[in-house]
Amino acid sequence: GAGVSQTPSNKVTEKGKYVELRCDPISGHTALYWYRQSLGQGPEFLIYFQGTGAADDSGLPNDRFFAVRPEGSVSTLKIQRTERGDSAVYLCASSSTTSGGVRGTQYFGPGTRLTVL
């Protein structure tokens, strides 16, 4: 497909468990972003990658959250020792560049709904 894909679409886990969420960006997009959206709220920035490196991780809430993009394409968001407050929809977006303008437009994937019991 041509769009951003995310797996799994739904993830239910127990408090204290480890989870991995995967994002496959649009082919050729060098910039990849992770956001988190809680019910009734807008998406909240977590981290973004330019290529393989995390250029800005200022939105990660604490050190239980970590993300990687080892080959500059697919990214994995990792959450350790999950808490009930981590329950949300995790959205991934990609763009051609991180600059402004048309090429900087971000396109979102369908999201992963994480539920921590």
Partner 1 sequence: QKEVEQNSGPLSVPEGAIASLNCTYSDRGSQSFFWYRQYSGKSPELIMFIYSNGDKEDGRFTAQLNKASQYVSLLIRDSQPSDSATYLCAVSAGGGNKLTFGTGTQLKVEL
Count of residues in contact with partner 1, rule CB under 8 A: 30
Given the rule CB under 8 A, which of 19-27, 38-46, 62-70, 78-86 is the region that contacts partner 1?
38-46
Adjacent-strand bridge partners of 35: 45, 91
DSSP per-residue letters across 25-40: --TT--EEEEEEE-TT
Which run of H or E residues covers position 64?
Answer: none
By CB under 8 A, is residue 65 in contact with partner 1?
A: no
Stretch of residues binding partner 1 (CB under 8 A), selected from 13-21, 63-71, 80-88, 107-115: 107-115
Residue of 19, 23, 33, 114 that binds partner 1 (CB under 8 A) = 33
User: Of 117, 115, 113, 111, nearest to 3 (Cα)?
Assistant: 111
